[in-house]
Chains A and B, each alone.
Chain A
């Protein structure tokens, strides 16, 4: 992603861009890794730094590919190092000393649609189709963004009806893959992703974040679909067969499903 942002801002080829190993001794503390902000904030810094670098190189009267002009620029004693620091967009107040203010300049938006089948003998749920539409601002690498959305959505589907997590005296009981039941290929519906691109002016090429958003809509969508199928209010997730049987029996005293 950074390679693509840098190459685009420089007018260079992606293959010509190299990312240094991250080294915390050489960079300032950028705060916690939160709010799916890497693309928007770090990507934005990368974009601005590369644009500045490109402007310096472009100022020299040379022709040809960026690679060749950059070499000539450096050989002529040009300064090829650029530092950028993120600053909040206008109108947003954030106090980094006290961690107070409005931390979120942009929000991601999504709509999720789930189709389910519920077995009326066992109350087993199978999600049969899933569609997620996500406004990411701009998809820098559409295939990677789709993969993030599909993967996050599947975690949400697991959360919706499979992944029971309980604790006993502070210890998680489902502490291994044999008991922590995450979806396999057979528990996974065909998934469709529709990207909505409404550019955010503060992000690189209009991009916002995407990492966490797909975790949010899937479980409510599945719970709503189960409600539609069973006619009972699904008041908790995961909607296990035990929970659904309980809810159905409570709503239909004395009846068989």
Chain B
């Protein structure tokens, strides 16, 4: 059961195959085996969201996902080429400081933008804050991250 297996998945649009133990964390598969070090390990226990990635479009903590759970899945990390709108908003609003939470925050903001871009109304402050409540930041006070999210959403609207 713990024998290594050939994991096949798509990462940022590219099919990849890696030989890994079934319970290896997706976080380690990305960082160690695929050298995609943009994804950060914060707490390693699912509390802080720094290691957030998309698995089949759903935002997850990659420290809590085992390799055997992502067989055949479509994984998107902060290195994905289609995050430019959110990344530009972070740059303009000063949404990044020390940087550890930033990759996870960028993906959480992308998930927020994806969810709200097509809706007919603006999210209120609590809805915006709730969308990012799974991602902890210790140094920005969130103010400029929330501003980045508002800017990214405004620009994603048709």
Residues of chain A touching chain B, judged by Cβ–Cβ distance below 8 Å, are: 143-144, 146-155, 176-178, 182, 184-186, 188, 190-191
Q: Is the CB of B139 within 8 A of A151?
A: yes
Q: Is the CB of A150 within 8 A of B43?
A: no
Within the complex, which residue of B94, B126, B141 is in contact with A153, where a contact is CB–CB below 8 Å? B141
Q: Is the CB of A151 within 8 A of B141?
A: yes
Q: Is the CB of A154 within 8 A of B43?
A: no
User: In the complex, how many angstroms separate the beta carbon of B122 from the nearest chain A beta carbon?
Assistant: 16
Q: Does B31 contact A (CB under 8 A)?
A: no
9 A–B contacts from the bound complex (CB under 8 Å): A146-B143, A150-B141, A154-B140, A154-B142, A155-B138, A184-B134, A185-B132, A185-B135, A185-B146
B85-99 interface bits toward A, Cβ cutoff 8 Å, 1 = contact, 0 = none: 000000001100100
**How far apart sit A190 and B147, CA to CA, in the bound complex (Å)?**
11
CB-nearest residue of chain B to A141: B94
CB-nearest residue of chain B to A156: B141
Q: Does B34 contact A (CB under 8 A)?
A: no
Closest 6 CB pairs of A and B: A150-B141, A177-B47, A177-B43, A154-B141, A185-B129, A143-B94
User: In the complex, how many angstroms separate the beta carbon of B73 from the nearest chain A beta carbon?
Assistant: 26
Within the complex, which residue of B48, B94, B143 is in contact with A177, where a contact is CB–CB below 8 Å? B48
CB-nearest residue of chain B to A178: B47
CB-nearest residue of chain A to B125: A190
Residue numbers in B under 8 Å from A144 (CB-CB): 94, 97
Q: Does B6 contact A (CB under 8 A)?
A: no
Q: Does B42 contact A (CB under 8 A)?
A: yes
**How far apart sit A148 and B141, CA to CA, in the bound complex (Å)?**
8
Residue numbers in A under 8 Å from B133 (CB-CB): 184-186
Residue numbers in B under 8 Å from A177 (CB-CB): 42-43, 45, 47-48, 136
Residues of chain B touching chain A, judged by Cβ–Cβ distance below 8 Å, are: 42-43, 45, 47-48, 93-94, 97, 125-126, 128-130, 132-146
CB-nearest residue of chain A to B50: A177
CB-nearest residue of chain B to A145: B94
Q: Is the CB of A191 within 8 A of B141?
A: yes
**How far apart sit A186 and B94, CA to CA, in the bound complex (Å)?**
20
User: In the complex, how many angstroms separate the beta carbon of B137 from the nearest chain A beta carbon?
Assistant: 8
**How far apart sit A143 and B90, CA to CA, in the bound complex (Å)?**
12
CB-nearest residue of chain B to A130: B141
CB-nearest residue of chain A to B43: A177
Q: Is the CB of A147 within 8 A of B45?
A: no
Q: Is the CB of A151 within 8 A of B42?
A: no
User: In the complex, how many angstroms separate the beta carbon of B93 from the nearest chain A beta carbon?
Assistant: 8
Q: Given A182-B138, A185-B142, check contact A176 B45 (CB 8 Å).
A: yes
Within the complex, which residue of A143, A155, A182, A186 is in contact with B144, where a contact is CB–CB below 8 Å? A143
Residue numbers in B under 8 Å from A191 (CB-CB): 141, 143
Given contacts A143-B93, A147-B143, list 20 more A-B pairs with CB under 8 A.
A143-B94, A146-B144, A147-B144, A148-B139, A149-B141, A150-B142, A150-B143, A150-B144, A151-B97, A151-B137, A151-B138, A176-B47, A177-B45, A177-B136, A178-B47, A185-B145, A185-B146, A186-B133, A190-B125, A190-B143
**How far apart sit A154 and B141, CA to CA, in the bound complex (Å)?**
5
**How far apart sit A149 and B93, CA to CA, in the bound complex (Å)?**
15
Residue numbers in A under 8 Å from B93 (CB-CB): 143
